[in-house]
C-alpha cells in the first residue's frame, strides 16, 4: 500500500531534530518469520502431553443457573476433567488494579465461568478437557444446565428505566468522583459529570444552536486470530500459560488473582499475536485452562472459534448520545452539552469515562457540561477497542459541528481551525492541554492535494472529521545485553502488535549510535524481564521506547567507566558520542569496545525502566470522498486522507500502517459493522460473513499524512499513534454522505438500509 511520502514537521520549528535511525524504514525484525509463516501464534503452541478443552456456553442472554449436572460428561471415555465456577475461588468484592484500569474480581471470575447467572448468550458455563477436541466438544454437550430464563435487556435506554430487570444484584449506581452509591440495585453502574463555565449563559450567547440524538451499534475489534490459551498447572504448584495477549503481566496478575495463587507461581509466555486492538487484555480462557490442567494433570489448550469470539469476548459498547452545541454569529462555540449512555455489557466497565472526556476534546469551549452513564445490558462485557469510547463521542459531536458549519456557511476545516483546541486550552473535564498538534493536522488536510481537488460526480460528497486520544505512559522495562561481536540483545515485555519491537530497537539504536540491524529485540516471558504494562493505550513506542533509551544511557555510562579503566585515564576524560567512546588519546567504536570488553571483564548488561506519564495526547483529522448509490443506499469510498500528529515517527511505515489500519476499522464501524440481536438476545451474525468488516474491495488507498509536533515529554518526541485514527472516520463519512445526497444520519452503522431509509424519507 503506497502512502503520501511526505512528513510534515511543525511549522518553523526546531522541534523536529534530525536523527540517523529514527525516521528511517529498516526491515522489521520479525518480518521474515511472519511472511514465511514460521512465526508461532497462540494456537501453534504445542506442549508435551497436551490435551484439548471445550467450553459450554449459555444459549440464553439472561437466566439464573439453577443447577449444573456434569456427570454424563465426566463419564464419557477420553474426558480428563470437567470444570465449573465451583472450581474457581470466590473472590468476593475485591478490586484488582490491572495497570490500565481496575476490575471487580467477582465479575471477572463470573465472566470466565458463570456462577449464579448468565448475562449474555455465549457466556461460559462449564468446561471440559479431553484427549481430543471432538471428545471435549461432545462431553460439553452432555452437561445438563437447568436455567430460569429471564427477560433480556438489550437496549441501553431501556436498561436505564426503573422497571428494567436488574442484571447484577450487587451493582448500585456509583457517583464517579465521590464514590457514593445508590440504595438499590441498578443497571446504571456509574454516573459521571463534568462542568465548565456557565452553560445557560453560553447558550444564551449563541446565535445558532443544534441539538441532536445519536445511537451507535455494538462493534467488535475483529482481530483475525481468535483467543487461545494453553496452561500447565504443574505438580510443584507452578502455573505456566502460553497465550496471545496484549499484556503478559496483566494475564499473570489476572490468573493469580482469579485462582488465588501467589503471583510468583504464574509465568506467562507470549506468542505472536494476530491483532488485539484492546480486546486481548482481559482473560477468558487462561484461568479455565489452568483449572482443567490442575484437575487433569496435563497441559490444556483452549481455542475459541469465531462465534465464541464475537459472542463472548469484549466488543466496544453501543451507545446513546445527545449533543447540544451553540455558536455565535462568527462561528465561535459558546456552549456545549453532552448526555452519554454507554453499554457496559453484562458487567460494569464501559469506557464512559474516556468517552465523556473525549466528546468535546477537539474544541476550545468556554461553557460546557458532560454527563455520562455506564449501563449494564445483556451483551458480552465490553472491552477496550482503539481509543475506547472516543469514536462514539466524536461521531456525535463532529456531526453536530458539521450541521453548525452548514448553518454558518463556513468551511468545516475553517470552523475547526477557529475553534480548535491548542496548548493551554482547558477541556470541560478541567485539564489543560500541553503542546498538541490538532491545528497542524487541520492545516495538513487543508493543504493536501485531496482537499484542493474538487469533486465533480453526481451523488458524490466530501466530509471531514477530527478526533483525539489521550495516549498512556505507564510502566515498562527493558534489558540490553551486549554480545561479543557488538550486537545487542534487547529483551522487552511489550508484546508486539504493530511493529513495536523494531520501533523500540530503533530508539535504542539511535541513543547508542548503532544501526537498527545491530539490535536483536525479543519479547520474552514474565520471568525474564521487568514488569511491563499492556500493549495498549498507544503507550509502547512511547514508554517502552523510553525504557530502551534509558537502557542505552545505562550502557553508555558503563562503557565510559570501563573504557577509562581500560585506558587508565580518569572517567571524566572519557565520553560517548555518536556511536564511539572517546578518550584523551584514542577512541573506539561501540563494536570495537564491545569486543575489547568481552575479553577483559564482566558482561555488559544495560537496564532501562520508565514510568513517565507525559504522553502528550494525539489528534487526527480525516478527509473522505464518497459516492452514494441512491437506489440501494450503498456508500462507496472514493478517496481517503488521514492526517495525524504522531510527535515523532520512529518508523514511518509502521506509523502509516497504524493510521491506515485505524481508519479502515473506523470505516467498517461507520458503514457496516454491528451486532444483530433477535428479541431473545441472540446474536444472529456471529461470523465474518454476516458481521461485515471491510475488505480490500470496500476500500480505496488510505493516504496517510504524518504530522510531527514532537512531544516535549519524551526524549525523542514520541506520541502514541495506534488509537486516534479510528476516531474520526464515522463522523467524516456522515458529513460526506450528507454532502452527497442531502440526508443526515444519526445512527451507526450507516449501512445501505439506513441510508436508503433516509433517502426514501426525503423523497416522500
Partner 1 sequence: MPRLFIPPSLRPFCEGEEEVNVEGATVLEAVQSLDQQYPGVMERLCPEGKLRAGIAVTVDQNVTPRGLAQKVSSDSEIHFLPAIGGG
Catalytic residues: 723
CA triple 665-669-673, angle to 5 deg: 110
Residue (353 or 465) nearer to partner 1, CB: 353
Give the CA distances from residue 601 to residues 263, 554, 596, 677, in Å, rounded to whole numbers and listed in that order. 36, 17, 9, 67
Residue 620 region, left (φ>0) first, then alpha (ψ -120 to 50), else beta?
beta
Residue (80 or 427) nearer to partner 1, CB: 427
To which residue does cell 500459560 refer? 241
Check: CB of residue 547 under 8 Å from CB of residue 531: no
Give the CA distances from residue 615 to residues 40, 457, 520, 717, 719, in Å, rounded to whole numbers and listed in that order. 32, 43, 26, 9, 6
In the three-class reduction of DSSP (H, G, I as helix; E, B as strand; rest coil), residue 233 is classed as strand
In the three-class reduction of DSSP (H, G, I as helix; E, B as strand; rest coil), residue 703 is classed as strand
**Measured between alpha carbons, how far is 59 from 85 in angstroms, rounded to an integer?**
17
**Measured between alpha carbons, how far is 137 from 127 in angstroms, rounded to an integer?**
9
DSSP state of 717: -
Tell me the closest approach of the beta carbon of residue 371 to partner 1, in angstroms.
9
- Say how far residue 126 (Cα) sits from the centre of its chain: 29
Tell me the closest approach of the beta carbon of residue 548 to partner 1, in angstroms.
19
CA triple 201-202-206, angle to 5 deg: 115
Sign of torsion, CA 378 379 384 386? Answer: negative
Residue (331 or 725) nearer to partner 1, CB: 725
Tell me the closest approach of the beta carbon of residue 437 to partner 1, in angstroms.
15
**Measured between alpha carbons, how far is 125 from 116 in angstroms, rounded to an integer?**
10
Tell me the closest approach of the beta carbon of residue 425 to partner 1, in angstroms.
11
Helix (H) or strand (E) holding 342: strand 333-345
Residue (277 or 675) nearer to partner 1, CB: 277
Tell me the closest approach of the beta carbon of residue 385 to partner 1, in angstroms.
5
Tell me the closest approach of the beta carbon of residue 388 to partner 1, in angstroms.
6
Partners of 577 in beta bridges = 580
Tell me the closest approach of the beta carbon of residue 641 to partner 1, in angstroms.
23
Tell me the closest approach of the beta carbon of residue 564 to partner 1, in angstroms.
35
Residue (470 or 716) nearer to partner 1, CB: 470
Query: How many CB atoms neighbour CB 30 within 10 A?
Result: 17
Residue (181 or 757) nearer to partner 1, CB: 181
Tell me the closest approach of the beta carbon of residue 544 to partner 1, in angstroms.
14
Interface positions with partner 1 (CB under 8 A)? 95, 97, 100-102, 175-180, 190-195, 221, 276-279, 281, 351-354, 356-357, 384-389, 429-434, 469-475, 536-539, 611, 613-615, 713, 720, 722-723
Check: CB of residue 173 under 8 Å from CB of residue 348: no
Residue (357 or 560) nearer to partner 1, CB: 357
Cell for 27?
Answer: 526491515
To which residue does cell 557488538 refer? 486
To which residue does cell 481468535 refer? 226
Residue (354 or 405) nearer to partner 1, CB: 354
Helix (H) or strand (E) holding 184: strand 181-185
To which residue does cell 476500500 refer? 699
Widest Cα–Cα separation across the chain: 92
Burial of 310 (0-12, 13-18, 19+ CB in 10 A): buried
**Measured between alpha carbons, how far is 670 from 691 in angstroms, rounded to an integer?**
13
**Measured between alpha carbons, how far is 763 from 740 in angstroms, rounded to an integer?**
15
Residue (178 or 599) nearer to partner 1, CB: 178
Instruction: Kindly give the pairing relationship between strand 368-376 and strand 333-345.
Output: parallel
**Measured between alpha carbons, how far is 712 from 434 in angstroms, rounded to an integer?**
9
Phi, psi of 609 (to 5 degrees): -135, 160
Contacting residues for 409 by C-beta, under 8 A, at least 6 apart? none
**Measured between alpha carbons, how far is 452 from 462 in angstroms, rounded to an integer?**
12
Residue (230 or 282) nearer to partner 1, CB: 282
Residue (122 or 278) nearer to partner 1, CB: 278
Contacting residues for 258 by C-beta, under 8 A, at least 6 apart? 88, 89, 91, 105, 108, 109, 112, 283, 287
Tell me the closest approach of the beta carbon of residue 661 to partner 1, in angstroms.
12
Residue (116 or 177) nearer to partner 1, CB: 177
Tell me the closest approach of the beta carbon of residue 536 to partner 1, in angstroms.
5
Q: Where are the alpha helices (DSSP H) in 113-260?
A: 133-142, 156-159, 199-204, 248-259
**Measured between alpha carbons, how far is 483 from 469 in angstroms, rounded to an integer?**
40
Tell me the closest approach of the beta carbon of residue 719 to partner 1, in angstroms.
13
Cell for 249?
Answer: 503481566
3-state SS, 273-308, equals CCCCCCCCCCCCCHHHHHHHHHHHCCCEEEECCHHH
Residue (562 or 719) nearer to partner 1, CB: 719
Tell me the closest approach of the beta carbon of residue 480 to partner 1, in angstroms.
23
**Measured between alpha carbons, how far is 393 from 727 in angstroms, rounded to an integer?**
9
Amino acid at each position: 500500500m503506497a502512502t503520501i511520502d511526505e512528513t510534515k514537521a511543525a511549522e518553523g520549528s526546531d522541534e523536529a531534530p534530525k536523527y540517523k535511525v529514527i525516521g528511517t524504514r529498516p526491515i522489521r525484525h520479525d518480518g521474515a518469520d511472519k511472511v514465511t509463516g514460521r512465526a508461532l501464534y497462540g494456537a501453534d503452541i504445542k506442549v508435551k502431553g497436551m490435551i484439548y478443552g471445550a467450553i459450554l456456553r449459555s444459549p440464553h442472554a439472561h437466566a439464573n443457573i439453577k443447577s449444573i449436572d456434569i456427570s454424563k460428561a465426566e463419564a464419557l471415555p477420553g474426558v480428563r476433567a470437567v470444570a465449573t465456577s465451583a472450581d474457581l475461588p470466590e473472590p468476593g468484592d475485591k478490586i484488582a488494579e490491572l495497570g490500565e484500569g481496575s476490575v471487580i474480581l467477582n465479575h471477572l471470575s463470573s465472566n470466565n465461568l458463570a456462577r449464579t447467572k448468565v448475562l449474555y448468550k455465549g457466556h461460559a458455563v462449564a468446561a471440559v478437557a479431553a484427549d481430543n477436541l471432538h471428545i471435549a466438544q461432545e462431553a460439553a454437550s452432555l452437561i445438563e444446565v437447568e436455567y430460569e430464563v429471564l427477560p433480556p435487556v438489550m437496549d441501553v435506554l431501556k436498561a436505564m428505566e426503573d422497571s428494567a430487570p436488574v442484571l447484577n444484584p450487587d451493582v448500585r449506581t456509583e457517583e464517579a468522583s465521590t464514590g457514593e452509591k445508590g440504595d438499590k440495585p441498578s443497571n446504571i453502574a456509574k454516573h459521571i459529570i463534568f462542568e465548565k463555565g456557565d452553560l445557560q449563559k453560553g447558550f444564551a450567547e449563541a446565535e445558532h444552536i443544534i441539538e441532536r440524538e445519536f445511537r451507535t451499534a455494538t462493534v467488535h475489534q475483529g482481530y483475525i486470530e481468535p483467543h487461545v490459551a494453553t496452561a500447565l498447572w504443574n505438580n510443584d504448584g507452578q502455573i505456566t500459560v502460553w497465550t496471545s495477549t496484549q499484556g503478559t503481566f496483566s494475564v499473570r496478575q489476572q490468573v493469580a488473582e482469579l485462582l488465588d495463587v501467589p503471583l510468583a507461581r504464574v509465568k506467562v509466555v507470549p506468542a505472536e499475536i494476530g491483532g488485539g486492538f484492546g480486546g486481548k487484555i482481559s482473560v477468558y480462557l487462561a484461568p479455565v485452562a489452568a483449572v482443567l490442567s490442575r484437575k487433569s494433570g496435563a497441559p490444556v489448550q483452549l481455542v475459541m472459534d469465531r462465534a465464541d469470539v464475537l459472542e463472548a469476548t469484549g466488543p466496544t459498547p453501543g451507545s446513546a448520545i445527545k449533543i447540544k452545541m451553540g455558536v455565535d454569529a462568527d462561528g465561535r462555540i459558546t456552549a456545549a452539552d453532552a448526555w452519554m449512555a454507554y453499554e457496559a455489557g453484562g458487567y460494569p466497565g464501559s469506557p464512559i469515562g474516556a468517552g465523556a472526556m473525549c466528546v468535546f476534546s477537539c474544541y476550545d469551549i468556554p461553557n460546557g457540561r458532560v454527563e455520562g452513564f455506564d449501563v449494564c445490558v445483556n451483551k458480552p462485557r465490553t472491552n477496550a477497542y482503539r481509543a475506547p469510547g472516543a469514536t462514539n463521542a466524536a461521531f456525535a459531536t463532529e456531526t453536530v459541528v458539521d450541521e453548525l458549519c452548514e448553518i454558518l456557511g463556513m468551511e468545516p476545516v475553517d470552523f475547526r481551525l477557529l475553534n480548535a483546541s491548542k496548548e493551554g486550552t482547558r477541556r470541560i473535564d478541567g485539564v489543560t492541554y500541553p503542546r498538541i498538534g490538532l491545528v497542524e493536522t487541520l492545516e495538513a488536510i487543508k493543504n493536501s492535494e485531496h482537499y484542493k481537488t474538487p469533486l465533480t460526480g453526481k451523488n458524490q460528497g466530501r466530509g471531514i472529521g477530527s478526533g483525539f486520544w489521550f495516549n498512556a505512559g505507564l510502566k515498562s522495562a527493558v534489558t540490553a545485553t551486549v554480545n561479543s561481536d557488538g550486537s545487542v540483545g534487547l529483551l522487552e515485555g511489550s508484546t508486539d502488535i504493530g511493529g513495536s519491537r523494531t520501533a523500540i530497537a530503533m530508539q535504542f539504536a539511535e541513543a547508542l549510535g548503532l544501526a537498527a540491524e545491530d539490535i536483536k529485540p525479543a519479547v520474552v516471558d514474565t520471568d525474564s524481564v521487568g514488569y511491563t504494562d499492556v500493549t495498549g493505550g498507544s503507550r509502547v513506542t512511547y514508554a517502552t521506547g523510553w525504557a530502551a533509551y534509558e537502557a542505552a544511557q545505562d550502557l553508555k555510562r558503563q562503557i565510559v567507566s570501563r573504557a577509562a579503566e581500560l585506558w587508565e585515564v580518569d572517567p571524566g576524560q572519557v565520553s560517548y558520542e555518536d556511536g564511539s567512546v572517546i578518550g584523551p588519546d584514542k577512541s573506539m567504536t561501540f563494536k570495537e569496545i564491545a569486543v575489547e570488553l568481552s575479553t577483559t571483564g564482566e558482561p555488559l548488561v544495560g537496564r532501562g525502566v520508565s514510568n513517565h506519564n507525559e504522553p502528550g495526547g494525539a489528534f487526527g483529522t480525516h478527509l473522505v470522498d464518497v459516492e452514494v448509490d441512491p437506489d440501494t443506499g450503498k456508500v462507496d469510498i472514493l478517496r481517503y486522507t488521514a492526517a495525524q500528529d504522531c510527535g515523532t515517527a520512529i518508523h514511518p511505515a509502521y506509523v502509516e500502517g497504524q493510521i491506515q489500519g485505524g481508519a479502515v476499522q473506523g470505516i467498517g464501524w461507520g458503514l457496516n459493522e454491528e451486532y444483530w440481536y433477535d428479541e431473545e438476545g441472540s446474536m444472529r451474525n456471529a461470523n465474518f460473513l454476516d458481521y461485515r468488516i471491510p475488505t480490500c474491495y470496500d476500500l480505496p488507498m488510505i493516504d496517510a499524512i504524518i504530522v510531527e509536533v514532537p512531544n516535549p515529554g519524551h526524549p525523542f518526541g514520541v506520541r502514541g499513534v495506534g488509537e486516534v485514527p479510528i476516531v474520526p472516520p464515522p463522523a467524516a463519512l456522515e458529513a460526506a454522505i450528507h454532502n452527497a445526497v442531502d440526508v443526515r444520519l444519526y445512527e451507526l452503522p450507516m449501512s445501505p438500509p439506513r441510508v436508503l431509509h433516509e433517502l426514501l424519507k426525503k423523497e416522500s
